A and B are shown apart, each in its own frame.
Chain A
Amino acid sequence: MQKYPNPMNPSVVGVDVLDRHIDPSGKLHSHRLLSTEWGLLSIVKSIIGAARSKTYVQEHSVVDPVEKTMELQSTNISFTNMVSVDERLTYKPYPQDTEKTVLTQEAIITVKGVSLSSYLEGLMASTISSNANEG
């Protein structure tokens, strides 16, 4: 039985550099295009067309060779009318041991113009107030 890639975890199948330059302060900027596959069943792919099964992400990274830091920001450019996934990662030397690296990662997911965090807050607020009324 053939195993398919995990549809919850896309795999990156293509990477291209769109632009790369060093800014006046000596930091290296790269703009990259990533293409990802979701492991759709081949029958689904044959219905929607193989080209449509790929989703694309645009990534901007900055490497500071002096501070030894790297910052990455990425955003999806496919399905932007449905969902927006913005991710930001920073890599810095660990202060107590500069042989180690600290990674900070955050992602903001917005569905149809409503940020998920504000949707959850709204839900909690209305739950709390309706519980208070019942008491």
Chain B
Amino acid sequence: MNSVGEACTDMKREYDQCFNRWFAEKFLKGDGSGDPCTDLFKRYQQCVQKAIKEKEIPIEGLEFMGHSKEKPEGSS
């Protein structure tokens, strides 16, 4: 599966591999501590943010860097 930003696909795959491993081997077994993928995620995010701005994708009210957000209301 590709990224929305073509340039980000490799970073995305690296992050996905790291996440999937942590998810299956740690998180689902009850160990939610110590996310080893933070650096990969940051790099990947920078790329995705840039692609989203360039493609003018209308993401509403999403705080990055860890705040949980309410689902936005339906239509504009």
Interface residues of A (CB under 8 A from B): 12-23, 26, 28-29, 31, 33, 35, 51, 56, 58, 60, 63, 65-66, 73, 75, 77-78, 80-81, 84, 86, 110, 113
In terms of DSSP, what is the predominant structure of the interface of chain B?
Answer: loop
- Say whether, besides A58-B59, A65-B28, A65-B30, A80 and B75 are in contact (CB < 8 Å): yes
**How far apart sit A50 and B60, CA to CA, in the bound complex (Å)?**
23
Q: How far is the CA of A20 from the CA of B32 in the complex (A)?
A: 13
Could you list some 8 contacts between A and B, CB below 8 A?
A16-B5, A16-B8, A16-B12, A18-B45, A19-B66, A28-B32, A63-B27, A77-B58
* Number of residue pairs A-B, CB distance < 8 angstroms: 92
Q: Do A21 and B68 touch across chains, with their CB atoms under 8 A apart?
A: yes
State the CA gap A63–B55 with chains docked (Å). 30
Excluding A17-B15, A17-B19, A56-B57, 17 further A-B contacts by CB distance (< 8 Å) are: A13-B2, A16-B3, A17-B12, A17-B44, A18-B64, A20-B19, A21-B66, A23-B68, A28-B32, A31-B69, A58-B60, A63-B27, A73-B71, A77-B58, A78-B58, A84-B75, A110-B74
